[in-house]
Structure 1
Amino acid sequence: MRRRLIPLTLSLGLAGLVLAGCAVTTQATTTSQATTSTTELISDVDPAIPQAAAELLAANADGTVVTDDEWSLADAVSITLSGNTASTDAEGVDISGSTVTVTSAGVYRLSGELAGQVVVDAPDDALVVLVLDDATISAVNGAAIQVVGADDVAVNLAGGTTNSVTASTSSEDEASAAIYADTDLTISGTGSLSVTDTGNDGISATDDLAVIGGTITVEAADDGLRGKDSLVISAGAITVTAGGDALKSDQTDDAARGYVWITGGTLEATAGDDGIDAQTDAIITGGTIELAADDDGIHSETALAIAGGSITISRSYEGIESADIRIAGGATEVNSSDDGLNASGNTSSGAAGGGGMSDSGETLTISDGTLLVNADGDGLDSNGTIEMTGGTVTVYGPTAQNNGALDSNGGITVSGGVLVAIGSSGMAESPEESSPQGWLAASANGSAGSTVEISDASGAVIASYTATKTFASVVFSSSDVTDGESYTVAVDGSTTTVTAGQAAAGGMGQGGGGRR
């Protein structure tokens, strides 16, 4: 069987599958109807990907994609859509009433309007490319585009064209999305595509779903984009409005599948559930992402790494949630009505979601990048440990006393970077006394708009912040702080003198734990 594998050590370039400095072995495979196929084996890890993310990528199965250089538009045969039927001179296409069925490998150009369905039912070794060239497909019953059988299928959006696919499927349907593939599916091209499903999912593949180009708008009653084995996005401009999850991968039978990987493109998503939901890992190494979600902004059951790109979670219940959260690059902003980042749900803890104050093994690690958190619940929360070795983290935490800007069950360690946490005092937590980098904690009151200045014993200002809400606690750590020395925390001119390495009175102190 022909497979085009995307090894997860690539930083993508999915459209080219070329990585300078990596050993590449190309194996030719069978071709049919002027299509070509290659399998790329990448032996080296791209050094541009931080180790925190590269470890997760290496642990997952390779994905599959149909790149644009694997087929030629010159080989395309035309299918003209016309109302309740269609016409073509091509072999390998059956037209029965309003159903157009592609039965052979090849490249097929679809144009016009069809009130019906396009079906791909080709041999198991077939590569089928559907080029949408100003095509409008509106399904009366079931999916508008349904892939029953093939090896791989690509939907290519012809440059300069506007295309539309609409349906109203049900979760009970065999094909439960406007575009549904019981195979690997790739969306590519430079044209535009509007997908609407008023009953269930927008675009769904039971294997791998890859988006490597196009301007794509999806409106779905349930999930927007769903790749059961994996969902990989490397390019394109994607807008999703979903009643369920905006992006989803939900394979539960294989620990190396069920992942979401975003390495490029732009994504703007509004979700009635999670913005991004991965059964195993969620990995972001590039792209510009804007999420507004009624539940989690980004959620994964196993591990979650942000190692590049620009991410804004403008609305969420919990911003980022996983048992293993790794911030290793990029610029991330989180706004949440509960916890900003929540390391919880470790299955070994015996109770998903945590609870109590014991260390249940979850980890939140920050090694690089910038992170801004505005949380009504805990800012940084871990049922296990929080470790920071680099990067810049600013937390504007809760105003309520039953949460804290920092909250861990297993302790907080800072050995590098810049950390400031401004929030309420009732559950305020500080780094461990053994934390390698100096830190200070102060009971200092202020309100939204207040200026917080931190000065050393000589009076030199080493940090300054403008608060976004009412607060009563400030925790700060940087290489400019030396344990045992005195520092002044000034809020709108009112000063508090503290000794670095000593927790403020009234909080939870060091490793104090907190609420979930």
Structure 2
Amino acid sequence: MRSPKYYLLVPILAGGLVLAGCAVTSTDSGSGSETSSSSSSETTADLVPTASVDVTQTAAEVLAANQKTHTTADDSADDAAWSEADSTAIDLDDESGTVTISEAGTYHLTGTLSDGQVVVNSTGDGQVKLVLDGVDITSSTGSAISIVAADEAAVILADGSTNTLTDAASYADADADTPVAALSSAADLTITGTGALDVTGSSNDGISSKDGLVIAGGDITVDAQDDGIRGKDYLVILDGTISVTAGGDGLKSDNDEDAARGYIAIEGGAVTVDATGDGISATTDVVTTAGSLDVTSGGGADQTVADDASAKGIKAGAIIVLGGGDVSVDAADDAVHSDNAVHIADGVVSLATGDDGVHADDALLVSDGTLTISQAYEGLESSEISVAGGTTSVTASDDGVNVSDGSGGSEMGGGAPMGGGPDQAADAAAEDAADAAADDAAATDSADTAATGDMTLTISGGTLTVNSEGDGLDSNGSASMTGGTVVVNGPTGSGNGALDVDSGFDISGGSLLAVGSAGMIVAPDADADQASISATLDSSHAAGSAVTVTADDGTVVASFTATKEFASVVSSSADIVNGQTYTVTVDGSAAGTAVAGEQTSEMGGGMGGGGTPPSR
């Protein structure tokens, strides 16, 4: 092992030590923290996108357009590499107060610092590596580890080690340039290694970098009064097992000055978040490509969110691309929410929410993967919704799919987190106004049955299954279907319909089956390229009934088992021929007939009968 640089101890100050001939000093904690700070001065203003985002972007395309990270997966092995021979040993059992590291290099930390902190203040070039090997650091004045300055910093969790960091409940000397967090960095920070790290953010955040933050390994547990893990410019998780409990937001990136920053990417590892506020909150983008992500926000889907609060599962200002891995969200507010666009591109996504399953102000695309919304008020909601592939299942207490322009302004602020932390009141002031405006606009749109604009529902592939108590497919504009399979188990009440389209429903391919109440029936356009039937049955029939739709020549064009009570059937497929009569049979008995291409609509019309059906 290499000899420590500071083996010659020269007392020069009362209550303090200078470790001679090296880049490490130790000062008594009574002199005050050199690095503590308050993030209350860093109130985040909403970065509202000024232009529409291309919803077809892949995860790789979104990441390529953003600021490049200071380290990558290919570099992670180098970041984690260290040797005792080439490091400076620091036994915290022999230290007190503040231990300051002032030069680049590798520092091997062991032992306990019961009331003090480790400060990195390296103004020269080169990376500072802190190897935590069984350390326990508690500060009564500020951060446990504070990186005030460094060209770049890495925290390495030594193999087999357990490390604990706890900051002060209140900071003695706040510094606006350094975040308030148990592990705080004003420089780009990498956390790697195979050991364990337990972090308690007693005052504000758990782990926070004012620049970029990359987590490439480790078993990391964070319990924070406010935000759990924050990388202002970006937060990228490449690997590791990460568990976050947060009184504010769980994972956060909030640079609002550069459209290429303020993003979060999950590219591996196993991440679990339980947040009182938003589970994941990014000013610009959220991207997943691999690994697993399990988010609970606001106590879950059965909880109520206060008017001045936000408890969304995954939230972004520009685009969310779920492009791989397993994603599970249980949210009191929207499970997935973007002020602009959402693309479900791959992976397995499971959502439960007290509000919208997936909400995008401008555009929502499902192109691949498996999306299951098991509980929601409305399942999919956006001005433009496209289903081009994948397998999507939606259960909603109101509309299953809702195409509407009801988002109003930006919801990026989201409201005040409902936990501690000195910066929450400031966050709330900026966030509450945005939420209130958005909610008011949404309520207005729900009552506006004439709004159509450019709102569209487009189905070109994949499988979409809807079980709704409100409208099954509701478009306040137009709808078109060219491929794919759609099955709608619509409402049992007469005030909504399995289909509700205000401005034309064109169908030229695919398979559509929609069942619901008899009070409101809407079918695709009678003159569409692909024929459809719309049948009002003789009575309501029970869930579990076996249903077939049969042509006069005995050809069965559709068959299914009803999942709920129903009194109407709408069907369209390549097997249906205009002008032919079709019989709907329920449990072996004829329950209704319809002539293809002669569909009518109930309660105010719809496609084929004229008029505009009621819509939300």
* TM-score, normalisation: structure 2: 0.64
Which SS does the other structure have where 1:480 is aligned? coil
Partner residue of 1:146?
Answer: 184
Q: Over alpha carbons, which structure has the higher Rg?
A: 2
Whole-Å separation in 1 of the counterparts to 2:247 and 2:209: 18
Deviation track 1:455-501 (CA, whole Å, cap 9, x = no partner) reads: 34443434433333333333333333334433333333343222334
Say which of 219, 234, 250 aligns to 2:267: 234
Q: Higher strand proportion, which one?
A: 1
Partner residue of 2:164?
Answer: 136
- TM-superposed CA distance for 1:513, in Å, is 5.0
Matched, 1:110 2:115: no
Whole-Å separation in 1 of the counterparts to 2:331 and 2:408: 28
Partner residue of 2:500?
Answer: 407
Instruction: Tell which deviates more after alignment, 275-284 or 471-480.
Output: 471-480
Which SS does the other structure have where 2:367 is aligned? strand
What are the residue-to-residue correspondences of 1:287-366 with 2, within 5 Å?
Answer: 287-322=325-360, 323-343=362-382, 344-345=404-405, 352-353=441-442, 354-355=445-446, 356-357=448-449, 358-366=451-459
Instruction: Tell which deviates more after alignment, 502-511 or 353-362.
Output: 502-511
Whole-Å separation in 1 of the counterparts to 2:58 and 2:598: 36
- TM-superposed CA distance for 1:138, in Å, is 2.4
Say which of 532, 552, 560 aligns to 1:465: 560
Say which of 166, 185, 194 aligns to 2:221: 194
Say which of 280, 285, 289 aligns to 2:323: 285
Give the AA of the match of 2:66: D
Deviation track 1:66-118 (CA, whole Å, cap 9, x = no partner) reads: 22432343347576666987979994579995222233423322232222422
Give the AA of the match of 1:329: D
- TM-superposed CA distance for 1:360, in Å, is 3.2
Which SS does the other structure have where 1:426 is aligned? coil
Say which of 102, 114, 120 aligns to 2:147: 120
Aligned residues: CA RMSD: 3.4
Q: Would the aligned equivalents of 2:468 and 2:491 in 1 still touch at CA under 8 Å?
A: yes
Whole-Å separation in 1 of the counterparts to 2:60 and 2:548: 41
* TM-score, normalisation: structure 1: 0.76
Q: Higher helix proportion, which one?
A: 2
The alpha-carbon distance between structure 1 residues 325 and 486, as it changes in their structure 2 partners (threshold 3 A), is: farther
Partner residue of 2:66?
Answer: 62
Whole-Å separation in 2 of the counterparts to 1:195 and 1:222: 12
- TM-superposed CA distance for 1:337, in Å, is 4.3
Give the AA of the match of 1:326: L
The alpha-carbon distance between structure 1 residues 194 and 474, as it changes in their structure 2 partners (threshold 3 A), is: farther
- TM-superposed CA distance for 1:154, in Å, is 1.8
Structure 1 unaligned runs (5+)? 1-50, 170-175, 252-257
Which SS does the other structure have where 1:213 is aligned? coil
Q: Would the aligned equivalents of 1:384 and 1:410 in 2 still touch at CA under 8 Å?
A: yes
Give the AA of the match of 1:186: V
Partner residue of 1:73?
Answer: 80
Say which of 99, 118, 143 aligns to 1:100: 118
Q: Would the aligned equivalents of 1:339 and 1:379 in 2 still touch at CA under 8 Å?
A: no
The alpha-carbon distance between structure 1 residues 463 and 96, as it changes in their structure 2 partners (threshold 3 A), is: same
Instruction: Tell which deviates more after alignment, 310-319 or 227-236.
Output: 310-319
Whole-Å separation in 2 of the counterparts to 1:80 and 1:515: 69
Partner residue of 1:216?
Answer: 242
The alpha-carbon distance between structure 1 residues 424 and 219, as it changes in their structure 2 partners (threshold 3 A), is: farther
- TM-superposed CA distance for 1:59, in Å, is 7.4
Whole-Å separation in 1 of the counterparts to 2:116 and 2:130: 17
Whole-Å separation in 2 of the counterparts to 1:214 and 1:371: 34
The alpha-carbon distance between structure 1 residues 201 and 364, as it changes in their structure 2 partners (threshold 3 A), is: farther
- TM-superposed CA distance for 1:434, in Å, is 4.5
Q: Would the aligned equivalents of 1:139 and 1:168 in 2 still touch at CA under 8 Å?
A: yes
Give the AA of the match of 2:227: D
Whole-Å separation in 1 of the counterparts to 2:115 and 2:247: 28
Partner residue of 1:10?
Answer: none
Partner residue of 1:46?
Answer: none
What are the residue-to-residue correspondences of 1:385-424 with 2, within 5 Å?
Answer: 385-424=478-517
The alpha-carbon distance between structure 1 residues 438 and 84, as it changes in their structure 2 partners (threshold 3 A), is: farther
Whole-Å separation in 2 of the counterparts to 1:275 and 1:427: 34
Give the AA of the match of 1:131: I
Which SS does the other structure have where 2:519 is aligned? coil
Give the AA of the match of 2:199: V
The alpha-carbon distance between structure 1 residues 316 and 145, as it changes in their structure 2 partners (threshold 3 A), is: same
Q: Would the aligned equivalents of 1:339 and 1:381 in 2 still touch at CA under 8 Å?
A: no
Q: Would the aligned equivalents of 2:58 and 2:323 in 1 still touch at CA under 8 Å?
A: no
Q: Would the aligned equivalents of 2:476 and 2:503 in 1 still touch at CA under 8 Å?
A: yes
Q: Would the aligned equivalents of 2:132 and 2:156 in 1 still touch at CA under 8 Å?
A: yes
Matched, 1:185 2:213: yes
Deviation track 1:365-418 (CA, whole Å, cap 9, x = no partner) reads: 333333333333333333333333333333333333333333343343333333
Which SS does the other structure have where 2:241 is aligned? strand
Partner residue of 2:581?
Answer: 486
The structure whose RCO (Cα within 8 Å, separation 6+) is larger is 2
Which SS does the other structure have where 1:166 is aligned? strand
Which SS does the other structure have where 1:295 is aligned? coil
Give the AA of the match of 2:359: E
Q: Would the aligned equivalents of 1:335 and 1:375 in 2 still touch at CA under 8 Å?
A: no
Partner residue of 2:281?
Answer: 248
Whole-Å separation in 2 of the counterparts to 1:79 and 1:380: 64
Instruction: Tell which deviates more after alignment, 342-351 or 237-246.
Output: 342-351
The alpha-carbon distance between structure 1 residues 362 and 101, as it changes in their structure 2 partners (threshold 3 A), is: farther
The alpha-carbon distance between structure 1 residues 501 and 265, as it changes in their structure 2 partners (threshold 3 A), is: farther
Which SS does the other structure have where 1:431 is aligned? coil
Q: Would the aligned equivalents of 1:327 and 1:366 in 2 still touch at CA under 8 Å?
A: no
Instruction: Tell which deviates more after alignment, 207-216 or 445-454.
Output: 445-454
Whole-Å separation in 2 of the counterparts to 1:498 and 1:186: 61
- TM-superposed CA distance for 1:340, in Å, is 1.8
The alpha-carbon distance between structure 1 residues 81 and 458, as it changes in their structure 2 partners (threshold 3 A), is: farther
Instruction: Tell which deviates more after alignment, 91-100 or 107-116.
Output: 91-100
Which SS does the other structure have where 2:216 is aligned? strand
Partner residue of 2:465?
Answer: 372
